[in-house]
Amino acid sequence: MDKRELIELALAARDNSYCPYSGYSVGAALLTADGRVFTGCNVENAGYSPTLCAERSAMAAAVSAGVRKFTMLAVAGGPTGKEPETYFWPCGVCRQWLAEFCPPDFPVLCAKSAADYRETTLAELLPHAFSPSTLT
């Protein structure tokens, strides 16, 4: 599974986005240490705040399947029905979720397309994270 393929899976997951309120479709693909991929999309709600982001959707699917070791995340998002025109950067809550399971050097691919993306790390997205190690 290379970076391009992981982004393709995130882009495909966008197609399942349920976003009648924002019209903004997001997809995420999470590569696990054992080579599996869990995907997620944003799932909105009439109550607005119960909305689930694509990244947390993918992480919850993986953890629910008993998987907690991840090696890379790809995310892509933009107005529904169009190819993304900007790089997609995870929200603060999803950054905090990543910090629960992933190390500071965890790579995150913030994609516009499979050929055009920015690679960053969790530490860059969430410096000085409050993580499980904080509590030990």
Min dist. Cβ of residue 84 to ligand THU (A): 12
Listing from the earlier edge strand, what are the strands of the sheet with 70-79? 37-41, 24-32, 70-79, 107-113, 116-121
Give the binding site for ligand THU (CB under 6 A).
19, 22, 24, 26, 42, 44, 51, 53-55, 90-91, 94
Q: What amino acid occupies position 131?
A: S
Alpha carbon distance 66, 46 (integer Å): 30
Rg (CA), the chain: 14
Find the catalytic residue in 5, 8, 44, 55. Answer: 55
Min dist. Cβ of residue 129 to ligand THU (A): 16
* 100 labelled catalytic: no
Min dist. Cβ of residue 89 to ligand THU (A): 7
Active site amino acids: 55
